[in-house]
Amino acid sequence: MAKYKVIAFDADDTLWVNEPYFREAEDQFAKLLSIYETENKIQQELYKVITGNIPLYGYGVKSCILSMIQCATELSNNKLPATITKQILEIGKNMLTKPIELLPGIVEVLETLSKDYTLIVLTKGDLLDQEKKLERSGLLNYFHHVEVMSEKNPEGYQRVLNHLDIAPKDFLMIGNSLKSDILPVLEIGAKAIHVPFHSIWQFETVAQEVMDIHDYPTLSSIKKIVNFL
């Protein structure tokens, strides 16, 4: 018998590859600005600008590109040539049109689980971009509901559960980010399974002490979900 009524999947780096594209974009950015600073310093400054702008811009490609442009004008002491600004805009447009690379085994897992469970997607980031990625992924039909959350915190998850009218005990979240997919879900009394991805954004990392006090299973691959359940 099904243990849960609803299984929710994170999208970026759980269903498909995402983080490496951001790392790649940041490397391109650092190279473009290497006339002003070391690439290491550029990456550090960019991180500060991006995370500083999250309350205002939120997550996603458009926010990242706006922060890149701000960071570039600052690093150049307002001398940034427009040709570089243009190339930063291009980095963003390339990210927004990248083909979707599904993680191994995703289709088989969704095919199997969709027979016994209601599957949904809970992702954060930019609304339009995430919807379009889901469409391009070919996975849309497996999901009963898709929700793009502005922030994955306990309140956000509780709102989704209220809205779908399900109790925490009937809800399971699967994702790669402890900070966004696991800890806030455990906090509202639901269950979560951690499936790490080889690359994680610095902003999403969690201290070892925090990880140690929480109880959640970690699987090395999404393919192991079916047997685990």
CA dist 179 and 205 (Å) reads 7
What is the distance, to the nearest Å, from the Cα of residue 213 to the centroid of all Cα atoms in its chain?
24
Q: Which is nearer to its own copies, 86 or 115 (CB)?
A: 86
Rounded to the nearest whole angstrom, what is the least distance from the CB of residue 131 to its own copies in the complex? 5
Three-state SS for 9?
A: strand
Q: Which is nearer to its own copies, 35 or 89 (CB)?
A: 89
**Binding residues for its own copies (CB under 8 A):** 56-58, 62-63, 65-66, 69-70, 72-73, 76, 78-83, 85-86, 89, 92-93, 96-97, 126-129, 131, 145, 148, 150, 163
Nearest to 161 by CA among 224, 216, 118: 118
Residue 47 burial (C-beta neighbours within 10 Å; 0-12, 13-18, 19+): middle
Rounded to the nearest whole angstrom, what is the least distance from the CB of residue 170 to its own copies in the complex? 18
Three-state SS for 218?
A: strand
Evaluate the CA torsion angle 72, 75, 78, 80 in order and state its sign: negative
Q: Would you say 57 and 63 are in contact if contact means Cβ atoms under 8 Å apart?
A: yes
Q: Which is nearer to its own copies, 47 or 57 (CB)?
A: 57
Q: Side chain identity at 216, as an amino acid letter?
A: Y
Q: Side chain identity at 52, as an amino acid letter?
A: G
Question: Is the backbone of residue 165 left (phi > 0), alpha (psi -120 to 50) or beta?
Answer: left
For residue 19, the tally of other CB atoms under 10 A from its CB is 17
Query: In the sheet where 6-9 sits, what is the strand order?
Result: 145-149, 118-124, 6-9, 171-175, 191-194
